[in-house]
Amino acid sequence: MQIIEDIALCESKQDPMALNPDDGGSRSVGYVQFKDQTFLEQIRRFGLYSYVEDEELKNLIWDKYVQKELMYQMLMEDIDNLIHWKNCSQKL
């Protein structure tokens, strides 16, 4: 999905190890710059990686492919989920 690559380019320059330590009071990390809480909430909501323990889920936030898969699920559910990437989605 091209929009994911475009958002990643804007958010992290497509760097899966990108870190913004203070993005509105909490950190944003990885390829599409998920916040920890949003990542965990959404991954649980979609039932992705349900076999993975909570502590390991926290490490998956750094996985580019997990972030892309989660963002894809979010956008397929509702394109308005782009609100999670408000600044970059407004530039597209």
Taking residues 32-38, what's their average pLDDT?
96
φ, ψ of residue 29 to 5 degrees: the values are -135, 155
Reference 85, options 4, 2, 1; nearest CA is 4
The tens digit of pLDDT for each residue in 39-84 reads 999 999 999 999 998 889 989 999 999 999 999 999 999 999 999 9
Reference 76, options 40, 37, 48, 57; nearest CA is 48
- Please state the pTM of the whole predicted model: 0.93
Question: In the chain, which ranges are continuous DSSP H helix?
Answer: 2-12, 36-45, 54-60, 64-77, 86-91
3-state secondary structure of 19: strand
Q: Domain boundaries in the chain? A: 2-84
Bridge-based pairing of strands 19-20 and 34-35 is unpaired
Write down the pLDDT at residue 24.
Answer: 87
Would the pLDDT of 32 be above 90? yes
